[in-house]
Amino acid sequence: LLFDFVHLLKSIRNNWITEKTKELFYVVDGKEKTAKWEDIVKLYKNEESNLTTMARLTEVSVFPKPIERQKVSICLKDFSENVVAALKTIQENEEFSDTIIFLELVIKFWKAVNIKVTLADIRFNDPFRSPIRSLDDPSLDFLLNFANIVDSMNSFSHIRIEKLSNEKAT
Q: What is the largest CA-CA distance in the chain?
A: 48
- How far apart, in whole angstroms, are the C-alpha atoms of residue 40 and residue 162? 19
- How far apart, in whole angstroms, are the C-alpha atoms of residue 96 and residue 36? 8
pLDDT at 111: 87
Question: What pTM was estimated for this model as a whole?
Answer: 0.83
Question: Per DSSP, what are the bridge partners of residue 23?
Answer: 36
pLDDT at 127: 78
SS3 (DSSP) at 54: coil
- Give every residue of the chain whose pLDDT is below 70, as ranges: 1-3, 154-170
pLDDT at 26: 92
pLDDT digits (tens, 9 = 90+) for 3-46: 688 888 999 999 999 999 999 999 998 899 999 999 999 999 99
> With the CA atoms of 111, 162, 60 and 95 taken in that order, what torsion angle do they form, in degrees rounded to the nearest 10?
-70
SS3 (DSSP) at 23: strand
| CB distance 78 to 62 below 8 Å | yes
- Give the amino acid at 154: N
pLDDT at 72: 92
- Give the amino acid at 148: N
Helices (H), the chain: 5-18, 37-47, 59-62, 72-78, 81-90, 97-113, 120-123, 138-152, 166-169
> With the CA atoms of 147, 101, 38 and 16 taken in that order, what torsion angle do they form, in degrees rounded to the nearest 10?
-10
| Strand 31-36 to 23-28 pairing | antiparallel
